[in-house]
Amino acid sequence: MFWLYACATPPPIIAPSPEPGPGPSATWPDGLREQLVASWRSAGHPPRTRHLLPDGAPRYVNRLVAETSPYLRQHAHNPVDWRPWGPEALAEARARDLPIFLSVGYATCHWCHVMEDESFEDVEIAGVLNAHFIPVKVDREERPDVDALYMAAVQLATGRGGWPMTVITTPGAEPFFAATYIPARDGDRGMRTGLLTLLRRLSTTWASDTSAAQSHARRLADAMSRVLAAPPIGAALPEPGLLTQVGESWLARRDPEHGGLKGEPKFPSHLPIRVLLRAWHSSGDERMRELATETLQAMAHSGMRDQLGGGFHRYSTDSAWRVPHFEIMLYDQALLAGDYLDGWRATGEPAFAAVVREVLTAALRDLRLPTGAFGSALDADSLGPHGEREEGLSYTWTLEELVEVLGDGDGARAAALWGVTPEGNLDGRSVLHRPASDGTPSEQERLRTLLLEARSRRPQPLFDDKAIAGWNGLMARALAEASVVLAEPAWATAAAETLDAVLTHQRRDGRLSRTWHGEARHSATSDDVAYLAAASVSTFEATGDPRWIDVARSLCAELEAHYPSPEGLWHQTADDAPELLVRATPTRDGAVPAAVSIHVDTLLRLASLTGDDAYRARADRALAALEGVLRERPDSAPHALRAVARRHGRGLQVVLVVPDGADPGPLLDVWRSRYVPDGVLVRTRPNDATLAERVPLVMGKDAHGGRATGYVCERGSCRRPTSDPQAFAAELDALIGADQ
């Protein structure tokens, strides 16, 4: 069976079927067809394509079928002859002197799915791509270095960013066209020029005026280098007042009606709650705590939160937090759990602690893998009744659906409780939110349980089940910190299991890999290493197990050996990672904090725990390198300001000595109920020599009268120990208050 294209060159695509199919084109190496067919048959995944043969087999297959990324595999049966990013694709582009069509996205991206369906499943568009370009697909979550590099080009060219990312480069990988989503044809979705027209124009431009395209590409590449380069080396530590300054800037943009900052869309990362609370703690300005509190409340009651499942969607498309973009990302769950945990400690609001419990419960239920690590995300889309993919369909409801599940009376109560209306707020359906507080907690939980069970019978969103090292580090840290503050020891166990899973499966030749999906792939980025080091310190605090100090120190050494920049910061990629046009040195916080923002804080925590001043000196060097960036734009790296505050703080250390059989609960309750943003916690047995080798602070510390005993210390100088919770609270409060 042959499939003919309306283009001059037959595209190199094949039919992996027992039926006769066209042989590989001249651009396919001998044996590749057989390898790809074998990969498809062994993978056992149902083909995600509308191009099927009568026996149900996919008509087309390409090199992505052999990849481990769920996103790349989604495109393995497009008529586009995709290659994964790598030396083979780049070498082919140079050998054939063809531009590269680079498409970057991720598995749970709604508009990536739209562009796939409209353009990459379109035979005519595929024919043009295959004949005149080298089509390359990148999973941005696997290769954040490639994503960051070409996103800089998109932002320079268009003034905005997003996914899917669409970039045309020279054979040398320098971009000369950059955009995001593009509809298939002229006039689609109200856009004048569609992808098919653009491809024809750009292929003509490359063929007829190559030098002009190359000249434009060199200028854009130079601009990208300037954007991604490290800042000038600073000479002094950033001032602690920068934290208050950035807090005041957020107050000036406060949304008094809906919480958060004015404008739309609203991302949680636009207002980092933990940073805002730390600014309140430093300044004493109650307005900052009020802004944090009202934002946490607004998000908890919003459509951005999965009101039945407990987790959080990616962001709100509107200013009222009402209609979300429905992806559920692992890193959002981890970071928001930390936000609400600090919110509970800073305000004592029980609802915030409840949110932490529900977010972590949802993550453990919906995102955890059999290995003990966590997958990356749940898709925004799910299948509708006719097999079409619809954004948010799994999460939204109509009045009729509520009544069908709950009956008339309970259906009406649920509609009032979660704001379900006849007209809806998303294509005739309603995104659940909390407009009313009527109903007892037990009734709310009963209705929620019934609806969640009914929802589980719907077609479910795709689960991107690849494990990303750094994102698992964020979740392990959230679990460890919440286990201490909310007295949930099972979460400390889960944190340790998560770290063990990553460090076991995502090591190759002793080095950390970024992803695991059946096998470890891709060199780790600096944020992978930094997040895992931070999680290891938190897991030590949660468990008292000294091996986590060893793990943290080992990860710090790995970061220092392979990622340092001359300026005193850390490159995004290792010194032996595949080379790109620019080796970036990130300093800005985005949806997740920059590696430097997290790692400087980890170095300071390790200095406090181990007494090793080399960690503090290394942190000082990095902070000095950041000084210019933070002085000019403190809101560009707000998480780094938490490290600045720690560096200028009093160095609070708390040691709890717990003999066998003693109950540390009353002393821990004192710690849990206070907002202690810069302290470190050590739990030890009396005179624990093994731990003292790693944490000298515990040396010689004993328990009094066989009871758990607390020591409140400041940079190694400890106050009088006590077993009395009230005395312990007084000592702790005196030092916390002095730190403001």
Write down the pLDDT at residue 101.
98
SS (H, E, C) 535-586: HHHHHHHHHCCCHHHHHHHHHHHHHHHHCECCCCCECCCCCCCCCCCCCCCC
- Topology (CATH level 3) of domain 241-379+464-648: Glycosyltransferase (1.50.10)
Contact 128, 176 (CB under 8 A): no
Write down the pLDDT at residue 458.
94
Mean predicted confidence (pLDDT) in 451-466: 95
Write down the pLDDT at residue 46.
79
User: Does the domain formed by 652-738 have CATH 3.40.50.11540?
Assistant: no
Structurally, at CATH architecture level, domain 32-228 sits in 3-Layer(aba) Sandwich (3.40)
Write down the pLDDT at residue 436.
65
713 CB neighbour count, 10 Å cutoff: 21
pLDDT of 558 higher than 70 = yes
**Could you read off the pLDDT of 17-26 as tens digits, one per residue?**
422 222 334 3
Write down the pLDDT at residue 360.
98
Contact 570, 559 (CB under 8 A): yes
pLDDT band (50, 70, 90) for residue 738: low
State what percent of residues in the chain have pLDDT above 90: 83
User: Rounded to the nearest 10 degrees, what angle do helices 241-252 and 273-283 cross at?
Assistant: 120
* Whether residue 164 has a cis bond before it, omega within 30° of 0: yes
Listed in order, the ranges of the chain carrying CATH 3.40.30.10 are 32-228, 652-738
Mean predicted confidence (pLDDT) in 265-272: 94
d(CA 278, CA 600): 16
pLDDT of 50 higher than 80 = yes
Residue 120 DSSP code = I
Contact 101, 129 (CB under 8 A): yes
Give the side-chain half-sphere CA count within 13 A for 189: 12
**Could you read off the pLDDT of 387-446 as tens digits, one per residue?**
788 899 999 999 999 999 999 999 999 999 999 999 999 999 999 998 766 667 888 899
**Dihedral through CA 537, CA 539, CA 541, CA 542, nearest 10?**
170
d(CA 567, CA 621): 9
Residue 716 DSSP code = T
Q: What is the mean pLDDT of the chain?
A: 91
SS (H, E, C) 586-620: CCCCCCCCCHHHHHHHHHHHHHHHHCCHHHHHHHH
**Could you read off the pLDDT of 524-535 as tens digits, one per residue?**
999 999 999 999
The first and second tokens of residue 128, run together, are 């043009």
* Closest residue by Cα to residue 36 from 2, 77, 65: 65
For the entire predicted model, the pTM comes to 0.94
**Could you read off the pLDDT of 69-111 as tens digits, one per residue?**
999 999 999 999 999 999 999 999 999 999 999 999 999 999 9
**Could you read off the pLDDT of 683-727 as tens digits, one per residue?**
999 989 999 999 999 998 999 889 999 999 999 999 999 999 999
* Whether residue 324 has a cis bond before it, omega within 30° of 0: no
More confident site: 227 or 174: 174
pLDDT band (50, 70, 90) for residue 2: very low
pLDDT band (50, 70, 90) for residue 739: low
Contact 472, 465 (CB under 8 A): no
pLDDT of 256 higher than 60 = yes
